[in-house]
Amino acid sequence: MSSFLSVRDLKVHFPTVDGIVKATDGLSFDLERGKTLGIVGESGSGKSVSSSAILGLHRRTSAQVSGEIMLDGVDLLKLSDEDMRRRRGKDVAMIFQDPLSAMHPYYTVGNQIGEAYRVHHDVSKKVARARAIEMLDRVGIPQPDRRVDDYPHQFSGGMRQRAMIAMGLINNPSLLIADEPTTALDVTVQAQILDLLQDLQRDFDAAVIIITHDLGVVAEMTDDVLVMYAGRAVEYGSCKEILTHPEMPYTWGLISSIPDVSGDTSAQLIPIPGNPPSLLNPPSGCAFHPRCTHRDKVPGDLCTTVLPELLPGTRTEGHLKRCHLTNPDVVYEREILPEIAPDLVEER
């Protein structure tokens, strides 16, 4: 039996005058109801483009989307525009990154939340408004019956994000995509929002995709993790596996660049050198090779000429990685771990 959400070989290509931008190039993953998938990567790695494809937000005139997105047995990519529109916001909902710009400045919060309800339910404005108040209450907005008539700019950042969540969940979606839901918020509010998301996921039994570049969020929220680089998955597996035994130098870089808030001053914060690659002219071979510090461990010019397959890693079947290194686990333990978490190494 296939999964609730099953994405196979998803490609999102944007034709431009300079050539084709391959924003997502062959992405596959699965997700069950009640589970959470984290998609991690730098800006421009294809996270948001891929999730927008699941929502069918790309315009046919500007983007070529191919592959297969099976949701509950239906291939979303084969649906007509109108059928897809009917599912959008109802079966699949999305919470956007910056709630200030993601909400229309000229309409009240209640209007915008209610609108999301009325699109899919033939009810009066009054009913929609009541439902909006209910949802605002649900996401923890105090005095929702009053705040419902406020404009987005009158809300604090955290409240706006709660309102966005209310908007996303008002139709009981079975799949919720949260695109950087906490990036624009300060740390204490981040935690509240994440808690809220977890609570709601439990209540609604939705499948959730969280798009983030913050491995802290991943650690707290997700069951599975998909690491993306240059439009492709470079590592995929359970949250625990990926965070404790990453086998791809890019993932190592991500982990190394997390500031350690536990107060361990001996830990180093190591940024990934270089810049994300151009999607118009991706590097030959492994897209990460220009920035990879472990290239010399691979014989010959394999890294620069041959694109590595996404294959099971050294530890478990379910842990996939896209790298030519033959012994990534050893490299990680010997070279990376001591630098980012010396205390952890000593404990062992």
Residues lying near other proteins in the complex (CB under 8 A): 52, 55, 57, 61, 85-90, 93-94, 96-98, 101-106, 112, 115-116, 119-120, 151, 153-154, 167
| CB neighbourhood size of 271 (10 A) | 8
Which of 233, 254, 241 is closest to 323 using CA atoms? Answer: 233
CB closer to other proteins, 68 vs 115: 115
Q: Given the complex with other proteins, which of 160 and 321 has the nearer CB atom? A: 160
> Tokens 């700019």 map to which residue?
153
For residue 52, the minimal CB distance to other proteins (Å) is 8
Q: Give the residue with the Cβ less far from other proteins, 106 or 265.
A: 106
The separation between CA 10 and the C-alpha centre of its own chain, rounded to angstroms, equals 15
Q: Partners of 233 in the beta sheet? A: 228
> Are 255 and 243 spatial neighbours (Cβ–Cβ below 8 Å)?
yes
Please say which residue, 102 or 209, places its beta carbon nearer to other proteins.
Answer: 102
> CB of residue 80 vs other proteins: minimum separation in angstroms?
13
> In 10 A of CB 101, how many CB atoms?
11
DSSP one-letter code for 8: E
Residue 115 or 329 having the CB closest to other proteins? 115
How many helices (H) and strands (E) the chain has is answered by 15, 12
The rounded distance, in Å, linking the Cα atoms of 308 and 286 is 6
Report the C-alpha gap between 257 and 210 in whole angstroms: 19
